[in-house]
A and B are shown apart, each in its own frame.
Chain A
Amino acid sequence: MASTTALSPVKSESALLNALSLVPGVLLLAAIGYTGKFLERFLNTYAKAHHWTFPNIEYVLWAILIGLAIANTVGVPKLFQAGVATYEFWLKLGIVLLGARFVADDILKLSGISMALVVIEITVSLGLMTVLGRLFKLKRKLTTLLAIGSSICGVSAIIAAKGAIDADDEDSSFAIAAILALGALALFTFPAIAHGLHMNDVSYGLWAGLGVDNTAEATAAGALYSDAAGKVAVVAKTARNAMIGFVVLAYAIYWAGRGQAEAVTNKAAFLWKKFPKFVLGFLLMSLLVGFHAFSKAQIGSLGNLSKWAFLLTFAGVGLRTNFRDMSRQGLRPFIVGALGEVLIACLTLGLVVGANRIWGL
């Protein structure tokens, strides 16, 4: 037993080295994020002092733009890559902590509306991407990956499905590149369209959570509009993420039935393995707030910790978006993805506008 619980000197040394290898990249994320925050404040103060009319460019956009500029010019040096890859960890940490800013009742109301819309969105998106994949004669498993990626939650869903349906590495790289490129475009198009339509924070947050694929981009697209919209986007996206196990399980059974993937023997274990555990952390945090475990000032502190975690995430979103790498993956999956995304964005916008009329969001 001891061998399973105690780390050997060699193992603990390599664990320490692994941990140390993260430091430069995490510091880079922090430096970019903080520069974004500094620029937002500095430019606002400067413009006010000189009586300039200058649009308020949020730290979120600065952090993404600085990251994009580095990734697409000098690139991210190897020394920083391991730490930069932790941006997903910061995203999940931020989401769990953000749970403290919601009372359970709010989550129930928002998740209830989100869930109804999510079920429609997933059903239509899966069907739509499958039809487009066949029209453009993409490989069947690549179509499955694109369908899962665009209907639920982008890159992670694709990776989760890849193993379950035994897809090629090449197919998953195609699908991931298409979803990432489209996510980067959504960061700029979603807020612009919403401003044009004068959407309120809740409606826009729901739209970003339903229409943008990757959780990091959905969170950023929400936060680019407003703080409140960012929070709603996280709830809607979390509701979407919670569905991942069911959809991947359905596809795994489908491909196993065709003899092209391993059969799923224990469905409950499969669902638990694929279920995103940070969703439970998010709910736990809001339950604790519901039971008055924290004072108002403490809730404020937890909310601020969540913002710091997101700051690192947004820097990572820019840094990992390399347009050159994406363009090497080929045009057809991108076209299918883009067509599908535009249609899904229209569908989800229609759903949100409809929900706003019915429930008055």
Chain B
Amino acid sequence: MSTDTSSNTPLSKVISLSLDTWAVIIAVALALAVRFDILKNVPW
């Protein structure tokens, strides 16, 4: 998978970061939310 593909996707058009970078940023934000108990016991 390359970051190149993302440059044309609607999500990355919102603010010009690659899809990969967005995925990492949001994953880290979610991980922080879980780490500091803002998100607790996420069900499945």
**Measuring CB to CB, which residues of chain A are less than 8 angstroms from any residue of chain B?**
15, 18-19, 21-22, 82-83, 85-86, 88-89, 92-93, 95-97, 100, 153, 155-157, 159-160, 163, 215, 241, 244-245, 248, 273-278, 280-281, 284-285, 288, 293-294, 297-298, 300-302, 304-305, 307-308
Contacts and interface: CB of A to CB of B under 8 A. Distances in A.
Contact of B1 (A215, A285, A294, A302): A215
A302 B41 CA distance: 9
B4 A298 contact: no
Given A97-B27, A281-B27, A307 B44 contact: yes
Contacts of A248: 2
B3 A276 contact: yes
A275 B22 CA distance: 15
A15 B14 contact: yes
Given A89-B9, A89-B19, A156-B5, A293 B35 contact: yes
Contact of A281 (B11, B24, B34): B24
A213 B27 CA distance: 24
B40 A301 contact: yes
Contacts of B35: 293-294, 298
Contacts of B43: 304
Given A274-B2, A294-B34, A89 B28 contact: no
Interface of B: 1-6, 9-11, 13-15, 18-24, 26-28, 30-31, 34-35, 39-44
Contacts, number: 126
Contact of B34 (A277, A302, A308): A302
Contacts of A273: 3-4
6 contacts: A83-B10, A156-B4, A273-B4, A304-B42, A305-B30, A305-B39
Contact of B2 (A276, A294, A300): A276
Contact of B13 (A18, A241, A293, A301): A18
A301 B39 contact: yes
B19 to A, nearest CB: 5
B4 A160 contact: yes
Contacts of A301: 34, 39-42
A297 B41 contact: yes
